[in-house]
Amino acid sequence: MATTQALTMMDVRNTMPTNQEQEFWQANYWDAVAAHDSRMDGVFLYAVRTTGVYCKPSCPSRRPLAKNVVFFRTREAARRAGFRACKRCKPDAPSTSNPNADFVEKVCRYIDAHPDGPATLEALSRTIGLSPFHLQRTFKALTGITPRAYADSRRLQALKAGLRDGHSVTRSLYDAGYGSSSRLYEGASSKLGMTPARYGKQGSGVAIQYAIAKTPIGRMLLAATSQGVCSVQFGESEGMLESELRREYPRAEIARSDKGLAKWVRAIQGRIRGEDRKALPLDIQATAFQRLVWEQLRDIPYGDTRSYSEIAKKIGRPKAARAVARACASNPVAVAIPCHRVVRENGDPGGYRWGMRRKRNLLALEKSVTEPQP
């Protein structure tokens, strides 16, 4: 059962964390490792397969490759898995424990043990013995997400694990803690990027239409499912854009439909020119951290910019500027989520997935529209 699997790490069994657990931790805590976030010290440890050592999140050593990282709740679990303590950050030292780490672990234990129960602040506060306000504030300060977001992510990971194991949608949804199919389809489909049944088939049969059009900053490919826009890319040639789309969705049913997507293409073209600033329906996948960042990006006014560190402070992670930059770089829908409006503190444009020339041109276009003409 998925509930039993979810408890493996929390109960510190004598086995390595399951793939399901690692996916969850990778999605929600990798950014803390990349940012050397000391607030997460005591909440979890990470180990590096290539070096054989385990570290606390704030370890100043060179950032490892994500694929080589394994997460653990305690040093005992890391040692039983064959890892040794890092000599730089000394994760076994008593001073490394965050005073609120035990509280966070207690909340996580409760949520993992009750996947089908309500993760409301009221229910958790009665169990944990803290006021809803203090519980929410403390949990989010350490983890970067709310208790409800944690519960949703765990439930979704359990669902995905069941589908990948070949179980039916019905069994997978109940094992994961969804009380009904309506609860599943209300929230999970948008996070999966497709319906649960199709996810179980690794996306086979998902219909994606795309269109290619000219814009003031070069050729643009816009792709969409029946749920919304899933990709907005810029490139030098139509062939390159089409190849990239098929590489990203290798098992989808992809077809060109310039006429069918004309409305959304015009919307993106209008946003570039400052003529249409309404939000588009999106069908994209994101980690909890990426969602926090992307929501902030969508709030940046047209023609304005914010620094990576300003966004980090906005989401309550002031030391995560680099992680914010990575979230911007992983944005799959250019302009729809305006990652081009995030720059370095000194005003330098910084990086851009679709080329610095395009970023500068976008910023210049927006500035020319918003600034009063002489």
Query: Any idea what the CATH number is for the domain that residue 41 is in?
Result: 3.40.10.10
Whether residues 111 and 171 share a domain: the answer is yes
**Tokens describing residue 82:** 């064959």
Residue 372 included in any domain: no
**Tokens describing residue 306:** 């914010």
Sign of CA dihedral 131, 133, 134, 138: positive
- Name the domain boundary from 273, 305, 330: 273
Whether residues 114 and 179 share a domain: the answer is yes
Whether residues 64 and 79 share a domain: the answer is yes
pLDDT class of 312 with cuts at 50, 70, 90: very high
Residue 38 included in any domain: yes
Closest CA to 247 of 239, 237, 258: 239
Residue with tokens 């729809």: 336
Please give the DSSP secondary-structure letter assigned to residue 14: S
Per the structure, how many domains does the chain have?
4
Residue 369 included in any domain: no
Global pTM reads 0.53
Whether residues 107 and 93 share a domain: the answer is no
Nearest 5°: phi and psi at 52?
A: 80, 15
Whether residues 75 and 7 share a domain: the answer is yes
β 229-235/218-224 pair status: antiparallel
User: How far apart are alpha carbons 116 and 96 in whole angstroms?
Assistant: 34
Whether residues 7 and 79 share a domain: the answer is yes
Q: What is the structure's pLDDT at 52?
A: 92
Q: How do residues 155-203 score in pLDDT, each as one tens digit?
A: 766 666 666 666 565 665 666 656 554 444 444 444 444 455 555 444 4
Highest mean pLDDT among 3-7, 21-25, 329-333: 329-333
Residue 71 included in any domain: yes
User: How far apart are alpha carbons 174 and 305 in whole angstroms?
Assistant: 45
Q: What is the structure's pLDDT at 313?
A: 92
Looking at 55, 86, 108, 230, which residue is catalytic?
55
Whether residues 179 and 116 share a domain: the answer is yes
Residue 63 included in any domain: yes
State yes or no: pLDDT of 212 exceeds 60.
yes
Look up the domain containing 296 and give its range: 288-363
Q: How do residues 249-296 score in pLDDT, each as one tens digit?
A: 777 889 999 999 999 999 999 999 888 777 788 888 777 788 889 989
Query: Any idea what the CATH number is for the domain that residue 266 is in?
Result: 3.30.160.70
Query: Any idea what the CATH number is for the domain that residue 307 is in?
Result: 1.10.10.10
Residue 156 included in any domain: yes
Average pLDDT over residues 79-94: 88
Q: Is residue 339 flagged as an active site residue?
A: yes
- Name the domain boundary from 66, 98, 130: 98
**Contact indicator for 89, 55 with CB cutoff of 8 Å:** yes
User: How far apart are alpha carbons 142 and 119 in whole angstroms?
Assistant: 18
Whether residues 151 and 214 share a domain: the answer is no
Nearest 5°: phi and psi at 281?
A: -70, 130
**Tokens describing residue 295:** 């929501």
State yes or no: pLDDT of 340 exceeds 90.
yes
Whether residues 86 and 113 share a domain: the answer is no
Mean pLDDT across the chain: 77
Whether residues 56 and 135 share a domain: the answer is no
Please give the DSSP secondary-structure letter assigned to residue 15: S
Please give the DSSP secondary-structure letter assigned to residue 85: E
User: How far apart are alpha carbons 52 and 181 in whole angstroms?
Assistant: 43
User: How far apart are alpha carbons 41 and 96 in whole angstroms?
Assistant: 6
State yes or no: pLDDT of 53 exceeds 80.
yes
Q: Is residue 108 flagged as an active site residue?
A: no
Question: Residue 233 in 3-state DSSP?
Answer: strand
Please give the DSSP secondary-structure letter assigned to residue 178: -
Query: Any idea what the CATH number is for the domain that residue 122 is in?
Result: 1.10.10.60
**Contact indicator for 212, 220 with CB cutoff of 8 Å:** yes
Average pLDDT over residues 229-237: 89
Whether residues 268 and 298 share a domain: the answer is no
Whether residues 8 and 72 share a domain: the answer is yes
Residue type at 208 in one-letter notation: I
User: How far apart are alpha carbons 259 and 211 in whole angstroms?
Assistant: 8
- Name the domain boundary from 273, 308, 331: 273
Cβ neighbors of 72 (< 8 A, separation 6 or more) are 9, 17, 44, 45, 46, 47, 54, 78, 81
User: How far apart are alpha carbons 220 and 256 in whole angstroms?
Assistant: 13
Looking at 59, 89, 328, 339, which residue is catalytic?
339
State yes or no: pLDDT of 232 exceeds 70.
yes
